[in-house]
Amino acid sequence: MDRALGVNAAFPEGFHPRRSSQGATQMPLYSSPIVKNPFMSPLLAPDSMLKSLPPVHIVACALDPMLDDSVMFARRLRNLGQPVTLRVVEDLPHGFLTLAALCRETRQAAELCVERIRLVLTSPAAPAPAPPLV
């Protein structure tokens, strides 16, 4: 029994599981400028940038590790008076669009995404195309 982990574990010879007693792994993640870039994470964008966005449609998944970020982003937009919709699909993971051929639920969620894209492209608020130059 591995007392540090509190479980019975038979590890291969020479394998030592990482334990909290070894200290935290140092990652230079937060020193990287990409982590603070609002184009990588819109939650970091200033209000002035978010107020200039067109209507936002978010399709999130109940099994997505980024679900909380999606909800927080939708709330932030709503609090700024920006038009936003949030739809959470049940029982699907992040990246479900790559699974659309596997089952009915993924196909239905993919159709929802197509519906939202179509809504953006056919919105009456979209500017009319410029007349052709003669």
On whether residue 84 sits in a domain, the answer given is: yes
Task: Round to whole Å and give the CA distance between 62 and 67.
Answer: 7
pLDDT score recorded for residue 30: 56
On whether residue 116 sits in a domain, the answer given is: yes
User: Position 95: which residue type?
Assistant: G
pLDDT score recorded for residue 43: 87
134 residues of the chain, pLDDT tens digit each? 444 444 445 656 766 655 544 444 555 555 666 677 888 888 889 999 999 999 999 999 998 888 999 999 999 999 999 999 999 998 888 888 888 888 888 899 999 999 999 988 887 655 555 555 54
pLDDT score recorded for residue 37: 83
On whether residue 79 sits in a domain, the answer given is: yes
On whether residue 54 sits in a domain, the answer given is: yes
Write out the residue range of the structural domain in which residue 51 sits. Answer: 35-121
Give the number of residues written for the chain. 134
Residue 103: count of CB within 10 angstroms of its CB: 13
Mapping DSSP onto H, E and C, the string for the chain reads CECCCCECCCCCCCCCCCCHHHCCCCCHHHHCHHHHCCCCCHHHCCHHHHCCCCCEEEEEEEECCCHHHHHHHHHHHHHCCCCEEEEEEEEEECCHHHHCCCCHHHHHHHHHHHHHHHHHHCCCCCCCCCCCCC
On whether residue 55 sits in a domain, the answer given is: yes
Which tokens belong to 31?
Answer: 């020193």
Residue 69: count of CB within 10 angstroms of its CB: 15
On whether residue 86 sits in a domain, the answer given is: yes
On whether residue 4 sits in a domain, the answer given is: no
Number of domains observed in the structure of the chain: 1
On whether residue 95 sits in a domain, the answer given is: yes
pLDDT score recorded for residue 7: 45
